[in-house]
Amino acid sequence: MPPSVKKIALFGGVYSNHHALSAALAASREYGVDATYCLGDLGAFGPHPDLVYPLLRTNGVEVVSGNYDDSLARDLADCQCGYTDPRDNYFARLSYEYTVRNTSEANKRFLRTLPNAIRLRLGGHRVLLSHGSPRRQNEFLWESTTPDHFLEKLCDDFEADVIAVTHTGLKWQRHLPSGRLVVNVGVLGRPENDGTTRVWFTIVEARGVGNGTDAVHVDFVPVHYDHRTLADEMRQEGLPAEFIETIETGWWTTCLEVLPHKERARGKL
């Protein structure tokens, strides 16, 4: 029987940003949540990936396996990020190789224990938490290009009233014609290409006990953290200047080719 809760905090893509994770955990406690979940990709872009794990453990965060986590757990050759552009794959390789070298064997063993999805009850609603999508770990569900009928089919196929994902790095929510809900919870690891240094997590709350998604309320919560110290740590670790620029400016400098036209048009490059 899945656990039953009323209010949850959802974190996406930590990307080794232990400063943002610490700030988000503190902020989520102020909301009085019943449980906290991370939807995967603990490592990537940032420095010192092993600093993330103690924060998750001591705060009782349940974690879904992301593509990064799965690759580390199985000692794969790449991050399974789902990119097709050569430049995106070049930077993905640099990020993954750094994370592999700097993740302890104990933490890799932990990653092998992670589920691909978590089910729970939020009030009267069946909630499914996954990384990219319920059907594929590295699937990109973009706001502008993912049609309602496909999201409805995911809800049907996976028997869910609410589906929560991450992977794209950009938050959004959609109430479907059926009354069900799909939400991309955003990521903690880097800004969402909006020219600010803040990152985001999501609070999802059941404000009733019925089965209609009008009883589910979503809050996207901005997180301000010590991004300058993170950038300094990245420099000290020899991480690419492009990754550091994103942390300092809020504009993406990599992983741009995967963006659909509307999402890319909101950015600077």
Number of structural domains (the chain) is 1
Q: State residue 240's pLDDT score.
A: 97
Name the burial class of residue 135, with classes exposed (0-12), middle (13-18) and buried (19+) by CB atoms within 10 angstroms of its CB: exposed
CATH code assigned at 67? 3.60.21.10
Give me the domain span that covers residue 81: 4-265
Q: State residue 269's pLDDT score.
A: 77
Strand ordering across the sheet containing 181-184: 4-5, 118-122, 125-129, 162-165, 181-184, 172-175
CB within 8 A of 65, min separation 6: which ones?
Answer: 40, 73, 111, 114, 115, 116, 131, 137
Q: Give residue-wise pLDDT tens across range 187-222.
A: 999 999 999 999 999 999 998 654 444 489 999 999
Q: Give residue-wise pLDDT tens across range 102-154.
A: 999 999 999 999 999 999 999 889 999 999 999 999 999 999 999 999 999 99
Instruction: Quote the crossing angle between the two packed helices 241-249 and 227-236, to the nearest 10°.
Output: 170
Plot region of 123 (φ>0 → left; ψ -120 to 50 → alpha; else → beta):
left
Find residue 219's DSSP bridge partners: 203
